[in-house]
Amino acid sequence: MKFSDIICPKCGLELHIDGNSLKCNSNHCFDLSSQGYVNLLPPHKQGSIPGDSKQMARARRTFLNNGYYKPIADAICDAISILSPQKIVDIGCGEGYYTGLLKQSCEADVTGFDISKFALAYAAKAYNDVSFCVANLHALPLKDKVADALVCCFCAYDAREFGRVLKDDGRFIFVIPGKRHLFGLKSVLYENPYENEVDTAIDGFELERAHELSFDITVNGEDIGNLFAMTPYYWKTPKEGSARLLSLESLDTEVNVIVCTYKKISL
């Protein structure tokens, strides 16, 4: 892990590795965890910013490691390979599944950011050649214009902040749900399932390429609950629908995503 181009969230000076800590010239110090990530969230923010719980991070880790979403990871790596970037930043990286595969697929310096320390504990332990930071994704502790490529998979974006850290000739890879994403799962949860609305417009960015990917998966046993815990439906589905889903031994559902490549519009 390099932790290159990381800045202090308190004063904005560059952080450098000093033993098992990151320090700036103002003597602000941030210790590396035993797993290898660093927590750069201010103490007063750590309780107020949501993130995956330990249980949710474990569910995500188990589901993704079982390969259900491997075609998505392959599509992301393909989009990145076209760019040949030197520095990749994965924003909202979670437990690091996509981040780790990105690192394996290229020689770039890769850094992952997430707000969940539980998710990054899994990530840093699994991928010790990637730098992982717990941070506010709307105020990234990064220098201006340092990233050749940003990756954001199923995570909210901040166009202004992403534009700040991306080089003028950099690219933003954004993975979003397609209209029919997980429609089989929604058909079990709801009497009248709906298709997702798709909007690829982002202020400050020009869409260069949109690769739509669709495939079917059969999810078995505990992975049904693991998948459910990864979705926003986990928080808003009535108990009856949740019980219906979790009573299944297997679930057939479509996976439908769009891998978007954006160019930064430089003013």
Q: What is 16-41+51-264's CATH superfamily?
A: Vaccinia Virus protein VP39 (3.40.50.150)
* Percent of the chain residues past pLDDT 90, beyond the cut: 93
Compute the distance between CA of residue 200 and CA of residue 204 in angstroms, rounded to an integer. 12
pLDDT of 45 reads 57
pLDDT of 118 reads 95
pLDDT of 51 reads 83
pLDDT of 49 reads 54
pLDDT of 266 reads 76
pLDDT at 246 over 70: yes
Calculate the dihedral angle through the C-alpha atoms of 161, 51, 36, 139, rounding to the nearest 10 degrees. Answer: 20
Instruction: Judge contact between 170 and 264, C-beta under 8 A.
Output: yes
Which residue reads 């030197």 in tokens? Answer: 86
pLDDT at 41 over 80: yes
Strand 38-39 with 166-177, pairing: unpaired
pLDDT of 47 reads 57
pLDDT of 131 reads 97
pLDDT of 1 reads 64
pLDDT band with cut points at 50, 70 and 90 for residue 48: low
Cite the DSSP H helix spans in the chain: 54-65, 70-81, 97-105, 117-126, 159-165, 183-189, 222-229, 233-236, 239-246
pLDDT band with cut points at 50, 70 and 90 for residue 103: very high
**pLDDT, tens digit (0-9, with 9 covering 90-100), for 182-191:** 999 999 999 9
Measured CA angle at 133 (ends 9, 12), to 5 deg: 20
pLDDT band with cut points at 50, 70 and 90 for residue 151: very high
Domain locations in the chain as residue ranges: 16-41+51-264
pLDDT at 46 over 90: no
What does the mean pLDDT of the chain come to? 95
